[in-house]
């Protein structure tokens, strides 16, 4: 295969796999000459799909696996029965140094469990965190955690801030990302003990990061900061609420623009602006959640993504694989330990 970044792909994970996976890879490789792929899955099924895509010729190696992690499989079941599956093998290739990053659109809990077991945690990381890229008025904001940990103490929130800052620089190209902790108010006396303690730690720690203090829920979509830190329970609720509001607004807008002849004429006149709005809100353009804090890159694509969305998740994985974000995380975690703020 061609030299450059090698991605390890779970071809069988996702609602429309493997067709969407192969189509997404073809779209990505047509634009990125520096990427090649290890494709894990059922070879008899994958071979004709890959052969039909000229962009994959000579740059996609199929590695057969007999088993698949299903969407209804619990993480504990995936750990017991998943060895040798397309998801397991995709992650294991990263551990073995055969690829720079793994990507799967399969079972989220299973991917988290398998990734943590195989790739292990980075030194100084008590619990990894799942990220989301949130569309905002200023572009994109990194939100973490969005589901890996229901609770997080102060030390873990500080670790999330360090990981999110390095990730934002690698994923969004922001030289000096700004950071805020999600709270019920911006005043220092607001919130529970853990967020207030994390706030004090980040203000006192001698870290080369731009910490801005507390942010509120509406600040996320405003793009008030580049990285929003919270526990997985709160982050997941906020994420799902935001997705629901976006779907509701999209539905109401379609109803309003097709309600009468005059509104249809108005929609036609505003078509260019509406297309821009749709692109900005399209989840395919921000697809890809990363489990930060592991000894390798593991990216979760949305299970219901289309080919363009899967290509975006793979592009994110490739960019992270070629970045130094994990080295930056380790350096700041070491400074935290030297200051006596490490998580136990």
Q: 129-136 and 101-104 as β-strands: parallel, antiparallel, unpaired?
A: unpaired
Tell me the C-alpha distance between 154 and 195, whole Å: 6
Q: Please determine, for residue 71, whether its predicted confidence score (pLDDT) is greater than 60.
A: yes
* The pLDDT of residue 343: 47
Q: What is the pLDDT of residues 161-170, one digit of tens each?
A: 999 999 999 8
Give the max Cα distance, the chain: 68
Q: What is the pLDDT of residues 276-289, one digit of tens each?
A: 666 655 555 566 78
Q: Please determine, for residue 155, whether its predicted confidence score (pLDDT) is greater than 70.
A: yes
* The pLDDT of residue 339: 61
DSSP 275-331: HHHHHHH-GGGG--EEEETBSSEEEE--TT--HHHHHHHHHHHHHHHTS-HHHHHHH
Tell me the C-alpha distance between 321 and 296, whole Å: 8
Tell me the C-alpha distance between 298 and 13, whole Å: 14
| Sign of the four-CA dihedral 170, 173, 179, 185 | negative
Q: Please determine, for residue 27, whether its predicted confidence score (pLDDT) is greater than 80.
A: yes
Contact 7, 63 (CB under 8 A): no
Q: What is the pLDDT of residues 320-334, one digit of tens each?
A: 998 888 888 888 888
* The pLDDT of residue 342: 52
What is 126-292's CATH topology? Isopropylmalate Dehydrogenase (3.40.718)
Cross-sheet strand order for the sheet of 35-41: 60-64, 35-41, 5-10, 101-104, 297-300, 289-292, 129-136, 139-144, 227-229, 178-182, 210-215
What's the half-sphere exposure (Cβ side, CA atoms, 13 Å) at 150? 0
């Amino acid at each position: 295969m061609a030299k450059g970044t090698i991605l390890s792909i779970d071809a069988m994970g996702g609602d429309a796999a493997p067709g969407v996976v192969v189509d997404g890879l073809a779209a990505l490789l047509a634009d990125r000459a520096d990427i090649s792929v290890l494709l894990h899955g059922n070879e008899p099924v994958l071979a004709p799909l890959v052969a039909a895509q000229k962009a994959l010729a000579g740059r996609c190696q199929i590695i057969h696996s007999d088993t698949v992690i299903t969407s209804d499989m619990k993480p504990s079941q995936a750990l017991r029965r998943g060895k040798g599956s397309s998801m397991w093998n995709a992650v294991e290739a990263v551990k073995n140094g055969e690829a720079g990053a793994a990507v799967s659109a399969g079972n989220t809990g299973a991917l988290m469990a398998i990734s943590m077991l195989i790739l292990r945690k980075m030194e100084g990381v008590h619990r990894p965190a799942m990220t989301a890229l949130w569309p905002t008025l200023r572009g994109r904001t990194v939100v973490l955690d969005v589901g890996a940990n229901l609770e997080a103490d102060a030390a873990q929130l500080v670790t999330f801030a360090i990981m999110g800052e390095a990730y934002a620089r690698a994923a969004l190209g922001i030289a000096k990302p700004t950071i805020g902790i999600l709270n019920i108010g911006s005043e220092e006396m607001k919130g529970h003990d853990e967020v207030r303690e994390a706030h004090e730690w980040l203000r006192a720690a001698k870290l080369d990061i731009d910490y801005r203090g507390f942010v509120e829920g509406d600040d996320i979509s405003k793009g008030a900061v580049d990285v929003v830190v919270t526990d997985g329970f709160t982050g997941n609720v906020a994420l799902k609420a935001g997705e629901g509001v976006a779907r509701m607004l999209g539905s109401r807008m379609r109803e309003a623009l097709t309600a009468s002849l005059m509104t249809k004429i108005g929609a036609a006149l505003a078509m260019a602006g509406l297309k821009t709005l749709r692109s900005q809100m399209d989840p395919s353009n921000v697809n890809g959640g990363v489990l930060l804090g592991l000894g390798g890159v593991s990216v979760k694509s949305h299970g219901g993504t289309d080919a363009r969305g899967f290509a975006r998740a793979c592009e994110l994985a490739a960019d992270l694989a070629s970045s130094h974000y994990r080295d930056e995380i380790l350096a700041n975690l070491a400074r935290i330990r030297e200051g006596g703020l490490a998580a136990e």
